[in-house]
Amino acid sequence: MASYWDRSTFWRGFRDGLPFVLVVGPFGMLFGVVATEAGLPLEQVMSFSIVVIAGAAQFTALQLMADNAPTIVVIASALAVNLRMAMYSASMTPHLGGLPAWRRALVAYSLVDQSYALSVMEYEKRPEMTLAQKTSYFAGVIAPVLPNWYIATLVGALVGQSIPDSFALDFAVPITFLAMIGPMLRTKAHVAAAMVSVICALLFAFLPWNLGLIVAGIAGMMTGAFVELRTENKDMT
Amino acid sequence: MSESTTIWVIIVAMGMGSFGLRFLFLGVIGDRELPEWVLRHLRYTAVAVLPGLVAPLVLWPAATEGQPDPARLAAAAVTLGVGFVTKNVLAAIFGGAATLFLGMYFL
């Protein structure tokens, strides 16, 4: 059996993933608190975090359930929030598509914003990485983050409403995303893609089910590809 | 259907749906070669999705009922700037968090 274990790369991923414990922790806790306050029993709060592992989608579902939206609307809206995961999946495929099916299933289960963004950054920075190293890095990133998500949800559900508002936890998530975007802006194509994404996300924010983000994502990807192609052609002439 | 059953239905459907989305390409395409133009688009997935995800959260934070907030705007700018210059995610997070707390205290 092929080995996908590369110890030093795993630990590099672990080190890179570790700081996100500080972000995922409060976010998971917040979900535990809010879901418990909404009246969900502990086993349902925990099932949400273990089965779905997607904070934004989980909050969307809670909100719509509180508004008494029809079940199908709750499910469809929450999944729409998660549509970006399909884009992450596509983006990971050239790197991790060579794994056996059950390992790809494990990667898919643990594909979240943080594990995706850190891994893709690393793969681009070190194109010489082997499949084993890429796999180990991904596993390393997720190792501290995922258990923390479960535990934080549990703590939130048990501790309840004792987190003061002045912690501004709402902004923990935007800050970590922004922190990951900064280092990604390596070329003109990356910057252009990001700018188009922001403009489209704001212009199309009125669309239901978070579809504005999908429009922004597709427009951003097309922009990046277009600028890259044009820059390449210019280099050749 | 009792309320509890409804919630279980939602949890299971969301779980299956989320996994389905995450497995969609990894599972179906696997190690088959993708055409160059597809790869070219996929290289920009992260920079095309994450900025669009945060932009509304930065401009219209839920915590201030959607009103732009100077402390959060400043924190966002510092986080992005530090990340861009240092290429260090952790430094950017701490820079942004520090700006946010200073901003909330002084602004």
pLDDT digits (tens, 9 = 90+) for A12-46: 999 999 988 887 888 888 889 888 888 899 999 99
Same domain, A51 and A116: yes
One domain for residues A200 and A158: no
Q: Compute how many other C-beta atoms are within 10 angstroms of the C-beta atom of residue B85.
A: 13
Pair A64, A130 in one domain: yes
Name the stretches of chain A with pLDDT < 50. Answer: none
The whole model's pTM is what?
0.82
Domain shared by A19 and A60, yes or no: yes
Compute and round to an integer the Cα radius of gyration of chain B: 20
Would residue A199 count as lying in a domain? yes
In a domain, B49, yes or no: no
Q: Is residue A25 part of a domain?
A: yes
Helices A188-203 and A172-184, axial angle in degrees (round to 10): 150
- The confidence score (pLDDT) of residue A192 equals 97
Q: Give the 3-state secondary structure of residue A2.
A: coil
For chain A, how many structural domains are there in total?
A: 2
Asked whether residue A180 is domain-assigned, the answer is: no
Q: Is residue B36 part of a domain?
A: no
Task: List the domain range (segments joined by +) for residue A211.
Answer: 185-237
Q: Is residue B4 part of a domain?
A: no
Q: Examine the domain organization and report whether A65 and A138 are in the same domain.
A: yes
Q: Measured between CB atoms, does B15 come within 8 Å of chain A?
A: yes
pLDDT at residue A3, rounded to an integer: 85
| B60 assigned to some structural domain | yes
- Clarify whether residues A103 and A209 are in a common domain: no
Same domain, A51 and A113: yes
Chain A interface includes B64 (CB < 8 A): no
Contact assignment for A182 to B79 by CB distance below 8 Å: yes
Residue A195 token pair: 């700018």
Return the structure tokens found at B27.
């599972």
- Same domain assignment for residues A93 and A195: no
Q: Are A57 and B15 in contact (CB under 8 A)?
A: no
**Are A14 and A141 a contacting pair, CB within 8 Å?**
yes
Whether residue A67 is contained in a domain is answered as: yes
Interface predicted TM-score of the whole assembly (ipTM), two decimals: 0.85
- Selected residues 180-199 of chain A with any CB under 8 Å from a CB in chain B: 180-185, 189-190, 193-198
Q: With respect to residue B69, please indicate whether it lies within any of the assigned structural domains.
A: yes
- In terms of domains, do A104 and A214 share one? no
CB A162 within 8 A of CB B46: no
Tally of domains in chain B: 1
A175 lies in some domain: no
Percent of chain B with pLDDT strictly greater than 70: 99
Tell whether B47 lies on the interface with A, counting CB pairs under 8 A: yes
Q: Cβ A116–B43 below 8 Å, yes or no?
A: no
Q: Which residues of A touch B10 (CB under 8 A)?
A: 61, 65, 71, 74-75, 78
Are the C-beta atoms of A157 and A33 separated by less than 8 Å?
yes
Per-residue pLDDT band for B1 (boundaries 50, 70, 90) equals low
Q: What is the mean pLDDT of chain B?
A: 90
Residue A181 near residue B51, CB atoms below 8 Å? yes
Place of tokens 């922190």: A179
With respect to residue B79, please indicate whether it lies within any of the assigned structural domains. Answer: yes
From the CA of A7, how many Å to the nearest CA of chain B?
A: 23
Q: What is the mean pLDDT of residues B20-47?
A: 90
Residue of B nearest to A167 (CA): B101
pLDDT (tens digit per residue) in B64-103? 888 899 999 999 999 999 999 998 888 998 899 999 999 9
Neighbours of B43 (CB within 10 A): 22
Within a domain: A2: no
Both A54 and A151 in a single domain? yes
Å from B68 to nearest chain A CA? 13
Mean pLDDT of B46-68: 88
Between these two residues, A55 and B9, which has the higher pLDDT value? Answer: B9
The reply to whether A173 falls in a domain is: no
Please indicate, yes or no, whether residues A53 and A126 belong to a single structural domain of this protein.
yes
In a domain, A125, yes or no: yes
Residue A134 is predicted with a pLDDT of 97
Q: Are residues A92 and A205 in the same domain?
A: no
Note every long-range contact of B53-59, with CB atoms under 8 Å and residues 24 or more positions apart, other chains counting.
B53/A84, B53/A113, B53/A177, B53/A201, B53/A213, B54/A174, B54/A177, B54/A178, B54/A181, B55/A197, B55/A198, B55/A201, B55/A202, B56/A201, B56/A202, B56/A205, B57/A171, B57/A173, B57/A174, B58/A174, B58/A178, B59/A202
**Could you tell me the residue range of the domain that residue B65 belongs to?**
55-106
Domain membership flag for residue B37: no
Q: Judge whether B90 lies within some domain.
A: yes
Q: Given this model, what pLDDT does residue A130 score?
A: 96
Nearest CA among A230, A223, A176 for reference residue A197: A223
